[in-house]
């Protein structure tokens, strides 16, 4: 646990260093609000939306508007600090993890969870696709029910009829 904390602390320092460097390079002023938004992105593993971030920092900066958060997130995206998760018409979700990885989306709580899969990275793309498109990225997108939501089902027992009640519940 202590080792894990140490690694997390090191990662946090590394990320903040990257944040400051990238902002400097792109002439984006480092304000306390921007640092806080970025820190909230790092500490969330759920690929938050602008609204999620807004909810999380309202107690620190009560006057900050959702629009300001949104503008800053898009600015971070523009300078390559975060990615926008390819969406399906929902509110934009943001991703601070710049390492190559894939996503699992929980259909119940709508959390997007990172995972890594070496086998998939080694899959060859069919010739005809390479001829037709210029491919710049390869991502695996899985959907289903996450661990936490799955364990919530246990409360409803084995009764299949009751499972639906579990699924419709919001857990955020």
Interface positions with Zn ion (CB under 5 A) = 95, 97, 106, 108-109, 114, 146, 149
Say whether 103 sits in a helix, a strand or coil.
strand
Of 88, 45, 99, 48, the C-alpha closest to 70 is 48
CB-nearer residue toward Zn ion: 56 or 108: 108
Q: CB 95 → Zn ion: shortest distance, Å?
A: 4
CB-nearer residue toward Zn ion: 114 or 156: 114
Q: CB 2 → Zn ion: shortest distance, Å?
A: 27
Q: CB 47 → Zn ion: shortest distance, Å?
A: 6
Buried b (16+ CB within 10 A) or exposed e, 46-85: bbbbbebbbebbeeeeeebeeebbbebbebbeeeebbbeb
* Cα 126 from Cα 159, distance rounded (Å): 44
3-state helix, strand, coil in the chain (%, to 5): 50, 10, 40
CB-nearer residue toward Zn ion: 13 or 143: 143
Q: CB 88 → Zn ion: shortest distance, Å?
A: 15
CB-nearer residue toward Zn ion: 51 or 65: 51
CB-nearer residue toward Zn ion: 31 or 87: 87
* C-alpha neighbours within 13 Å on the C-beta side of residue 93: 19
Q: CB 114 → Zn ion: shortest distance, Å?
A: 4
Of 96, 1, 91, 85, the C-alpha closest to 43 is 96
């Amino acid at each position: 646990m202590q080792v894990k904390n140490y690694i997390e602390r090191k990662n946090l320092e590394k990320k903040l260093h990257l944040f400051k460097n990238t902002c400097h390079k792109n002439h984006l002023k480092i304000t306390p609000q921007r640092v806080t938004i970025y820190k909230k992105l790092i500490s969330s593993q759920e690929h938050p939306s602008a609204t999620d971030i807004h909810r999380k920092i309202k107690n620190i900066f009560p006057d900050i508007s959702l629009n300001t958060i949104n503008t800053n997130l898009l600015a971070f995206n523009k300078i390559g600090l975060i990615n926008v998760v390819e969406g399906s018409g929902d509110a934009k979700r943001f991703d601070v993890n710049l390492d190559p990885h894939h996503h699992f989306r929980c259909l119940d709580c709508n959390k997007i969870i990172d995972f890594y899969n070496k086998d998939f990275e080694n899959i060859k793309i069919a010739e005809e696709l390479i001829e037709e498109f210029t491919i710049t990225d390869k991502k695996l997108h899985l959907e289903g029910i996450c661990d936490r939501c799955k364990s919530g089902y246990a409360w409803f027992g084995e009764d299949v009829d009751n499972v639906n009640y579990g699924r419709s519940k919001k857990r955020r």
